[in-house]
Copies of this chain bind each other. A is one copy, B any other.
């Protein structure tokens, strides 16, 4: 349900910015804190695929933000 072209929407995220605002937290440290690998963080951050809801909640928790300030849903078009 994730990467299909015109299927009706996409997800953008603010992870890169939030890492910057938290003292240039590395992808590795973020991954460690939420329980995924750095490669997974890199893929999510780059928008290669969208994370599980659980991973999304954990990321938001690390940055002390509500989920919808980290991930935004862009409806179809």
Contact = CB atoms under 8 A, between A and B. Distances in A.
For the complex of A and B, the 4 pairs showing the least CB-CB separation, nearest first, are: A57-B73, A50-B53, A53-B56, A53-B53
Interface of A: 1-2, 7-9, 11, 35-36, 50-58, 60-61, 66-68, 71, 73, 75
Contacts of A60: 73
A36 B53 CA distance: 16
Copies of this protein in the complex: 2
B2 A58 contact: no
Contact of A57 (B11, B35, B57, B66): B11
Most buried by B among A2, A36, A53, A73: A53
Given A9-B58, A11-B53, A52-B53, A1 B68 contact: no
